[in-house]
Chain A
Amino acid sequence: EEPILSPAARKMADEKGIDHAAIAGTGKGGRVTKEDVVRHAEQKPAPA
């Protein structure tokens, strides 16, 4: 099932081209917050 992203998380993930399903959501019921997207982007630097 498609994960639930907060409005800011959705925009940031789309801007960075991150697959929504790949982000570990820490919000209630696995919801993805902007903080989760920031953390995800830090962990996985874009391939050179």
Chain B
Amino acid sequence: MANQFDVVVIGAGPAGYVCAIRAAQLGLKTACIEKWTDDKGKTALGGTCLNVGCIPSKALLDSSHKFVEAQKDFKLHGINHSGVEMDVPQMVARKNKIVKTLTTGVGGLFKANGVTLLEGAGKVLANKQVELTKADGTVEVYEAANVVVATGSRPVEIPPTPTDGDLIVDSTGALEFQETPKRLGVIGAGVIGLELGSVWGRLGSEVIVLEAMDRFLAAADEQISKESLKICKKQGLDIRMGARVTGSEIKGKEVHVTYADSDGSEKVVVFDKLIVAVGRRPYTENLLAADCGVNMDERGFIFVDDHCATDVPGVYAIGDVVRGPMLAHKGSEEGIMVAEIIAGQKGHMNYDLIPSVIYTHPEIAWVGKTEQELKAEGVDYKVGTFPFAASGRALAANETEGMVKVIADKATDRVLGVHVVGPSAAELVQQGVIAMEFAASTEDLALTIFSHPTLSEALHEAVLAVDGHAIHIANRKRR
């Protein structure tokens, strides 16, 4: 039957498209529904991550970083040039081309794996029926043995600063500026705010970041977040903590933003563009029929168990629309877990070892427990750190800012957390993720050979420092 599937996935972002591909690999007759369209009205796969998230932001971060390097660091190497300019429309066009390549690529993978693409908006009805509303308004109903909801998230709007798509934008708009704003405001010093603030700051914007919380990167290890704040400020980001935005007013081509400072006083700042990056919320608009039986929690996330099963047998939900960190790799892994469970396997996902990365330069990344978490849990731990300033590879690369920090259980020596701010932080943390998946001790890593000269050696040295026998720094006296 043409309208019957083993699996119908709603949403083709990193959670949904990966789930659909894995389900098809496992021999399940799979359809994936997507309503996202590009500027020409064609269906665009890949979701937020590929279209307006991870990939485009990284493209702009890389372009803008090269510009800064050419401007500020080339002379140090003896590379003299007569002046470097940034062509912003060309930079954005390159980004758009990458997005196009990747989103088209997902379509190719669907074809190669035999996933049926259904273009339009999906809705979960009762009895695992899924309603598809196409762009022209026609409606079709599909019978699904299993339904996977992967509808993702959207930016949070706040009443004091309603976006107008021109002067006040969300993350999507901030990826599309055609010229560098002279004065740029960013509300929110989280991952998205820092990355977007970095891009435009590097190209010449005077950036002010307003953050309501008192502590910078509260989820990161405190020592790493302190070091990161220092580096970000040195790069020219004016980050104001404890700043609660209370209102905004558009006056001609300017945005006047009012905020309450940490000491309670009211301040006004004027911007040419304002980016609202205070967070993202689950997207469930027009998704669930009243009688479909799927429930949401009090924050609007679809309610699921540890295996992403909803309250309706055979209906699952994955990615940003359910609890847990809103990260592409988290959604994708949930997609694989659910596809395997549907195919009768023991799908499993380790929520304790989801790495976090902030693609500033240097990068900030971590996995596992922070020092303050372990303190709160009353765990006896030991810590080793190593600065990139002592790394030969980092010196050669002129990338000496930052450090690696490894935390291990004092009694068992098991690695509990790896935290890095510095060059290739994400890759170094990934080595920690692999080690931690195998329940490695710091001694296991100490006994492992790391190539010289590489940035990875900084992880090796930090591990050695845990027990006070790092070679390339003076070890702190043990208590």
- Number of residues on chain B facing chain A (CB within 8 A): 9
21 contacts between A and B (CB under 8 A): A4-B439, A6-B437, A6-B438, A6-B439, A7-B348, A7-B350, A7-B437, A7-B438, A10-B348, A11-B345, A11-B346, A11-B348, A14-B346, A14-B348, A15-B345, A15-B346, A28-B441, A28-B444, A29-B441, A31-B438, A31-B439
In the assembly, what is the distance between CA of A29 and CA of B413, in Å? 11
Least CB separation from B443: chain A residue: A28
Least CB separation from A5: chain B residue: B439
- Number of residues on chain A facing chain B (CB within 8 A): 10
In the assembly, what is the distance between CA of A22 and CA of B350, in Å? 22
Instruction: Give the number of residue pairs across the A-B interface with Cβ within 8 Å.
Output: 21
Tell me how far the C-beta of B311 lies from the nearest C-beta in chain A, rounded to whole angstroms. Answer: 24
Residue positions of A touching B, CB distance < 8 A: 4, 6-7, 10-11, 14-15, 28-29, 31
In the assembly, what is the distance between CA of A13 and CA of B424, in Å? 35
In the assembly, what is the distance between CA of A29 and CA of B439, in Å? 10
Determine the chain A residues whose CB is within 8 A of the CB of B345 once the complex forms: 11, 15
Determine the chain B residues whose CB is within 8 A of the CB of A7 once the complex forms: 348, 350, 437-438
Residue positions of B touching A, CB distance < 8 A: 345-346, 348, 350, 437-439, 441, 444
In the assembly, what is the distance between CA of A14 and CA of B348, in Å? 10
Determine the chain B residues whose CB is within 8 A of the CB of A28 once the complex forms: 441, 444
Least CB separation from A7: chain B residue: B437
Tell me how far the C-beta of B431 lies from the nearest C-beta in chain A, rounded to whole angstroms. Answer: 15
Least CB separation from A17: chain B residue: B346
Tell me how far the C-beta of B473 lies from the nearest C-beta in chain A, rounded to whole angstroms. Answer: 27
In the assembly, what is the distance between CA of A7 and CA of B444, in Å? 17
Tell me how far the C-beta of B416 lies from the nearest C-beta in chain A, rounded to whole angstroms. Answer: 14
Least CB separation from B348: chain A residue: A11
Tell me how far the C-beta of B339 lies from the nearest C-beta in chain A, rounded to whole angstroms. Answer: 14
In the assembly, what is the distance between CA of A34 and CA of B337, in Å? 19
Determine the chain A residues whose CB is within 8 A of the CB of B444 once the complex forms: 28
Closest 8 CB pairs of A and B: A14-B346, A4-B439, A15-B346, A7-B437, A6-B438, A11-B346, A11-B348, A31-B439
Determine the chain A residues whose CB is within 8 A of the CB of B438 once the complex forms: 6-7, 31
With most chain B CB atoms within 10 A of its CB, the pick from A6, A15, A29 is A29
Tell me how far the C-beta of A5 lies from the nearest C-beta in chain B, rounded to whole angstroms. Answer: 8
Tell me how far the C-beta of A40 lies from the nearest C-beta in chain B, rounded to whole angstroms. Answer: 16
Determine the chain A residues whose CB is within 8 A of the CB of B441 once the complex forms: 28-29
In the assembly, what is the distance between CA of A47 and CA of B346, in Å? 21
